Amino acid sequence: MAYPSQLGFQDAASPLMEELLHFHDHALMIIFLISTFVLYIIVAMVTTKLTNSFILDSQEVEIIWTVLPAVILIMIALPSLRILYIMDEINDPHLTVKAVGHQWYWSYEYTDYEDLGFDSYMIPTQDLTPGQFRLIETDHRMVIPVESPIRVLVSAEDVLHSWAVPSLGVKMDAVPGRLNQVAFVASRPGVFYGQCSEICGANHSFMPIVVEAVPLVHFETWSSLMLEDA
């Protein structure tokens, strides 16, 4: 969960988000070094008139300015491609949940169970209880077991939506008539918040996502209670 005046990303709650944070720090350091070097050259040329023939007309400098950007691009592309392939891997998920976007709420279907499904609406501000967060709490949370591979099938009923939970490193477009999928593993128990990340209409900002990761024993108890109430 983000907090006021926070700088940077939320704490990672999945191995995928940890990889994304490492890649962000890696790319940011490269950008910082490039910016520092370019700033140094500009300052040197302005203050010391570093405009001799070696700088302006030198084959060695041209080779450096051609090879160096290529090396930098490779240093960024290789870890980026690695993470892309990791995000696409879905190996033997323990649980499959179908998330369907509507105007303006989410509905969830646990496809491994016959009658386990529910709609998830944002709790109005006047109905919040102490400790709940405004505009991002829902009446029904998507509950999942911790440390288990989860596959989420994402679709929409009316317009484009996007199912996104930043701390889990998950963001997938919900397209009407199309079934997209994304996988993740919650590495620790907790409640993780997200929102629709596609401008889907007047109430776009009022269809939050709440994922609660609990131990397997608690998940089985929750699923049994939900099936009894169905």
Any residues with CB less than 8 A from the CB of 219 and at least 6 apart, and which? 143, 144, 145
Give the percent of the chain with pLDDT over 90.
71
pLDDT of 24 over the 70 cut: yes
The confidence score (pLDDT) of residue 183 equals: 93
Fold annotation for 95-229: Immunoglobulin-like (2.60.40)
pLDDT above 70 coverage of the chain, percent = 94
Do 10 and 2 touch, CB atoms closer than 8 A?
Answer: yes
pLDDT of 116 reads 92
* Residues near 48 by beta carbon (within 8 Å), at least 6 away in sequence: none
- How many other C-beta atoms lie within 10 A of the C-beta of residue 142? 23
For the cut 70, the answer to whether the pLDDT of residue 51 exceeds it is: no
Which range has the worst mean pLDDT, 6-10, 183-187, 211-215?
6-10
Q: Is the pLDDT of residue 95 over 60?
A: yes
Indicate the average pLDDT of the chain.
Answer: 90
pLDDT value of position 87:
86
pTM (2 d.p.): 0.85
Rounded to whole angstroms, the Cα distance separating 203 from 65 reads 50
Separation CA 170–CA 184 (nearest Å): 7
More confident call, 129 vs 91: 129
Domain ranges within the chain, ordered by starting residue: 15-88, 95-229
Euclidean distance between CA atoms 121 and 105, whole angstroms: 5
Average pLDDT of 35-63? Answer: 75
pLDDT at 56 over 70: no
Q: Do 187 and 147 form a contact (C-beta atoms < 8 A)? A: yes
Q: Is 50 exposed, middle or buried (0-12, 13-18, 19+ CB in 10 A)?
A: middle
Q: What is the mean pLDDT of residues 116-140?
A: 92
Q: For residue 50, is pLDDT > 70?
A: no
pLDDT confidence of residue 145: 96
Q: How confident is the model at residue 2 (pLDDT cuts 50, 70, 90)?
A: low
Cβ 116 vs Cβ 223: under 8 Å: yes
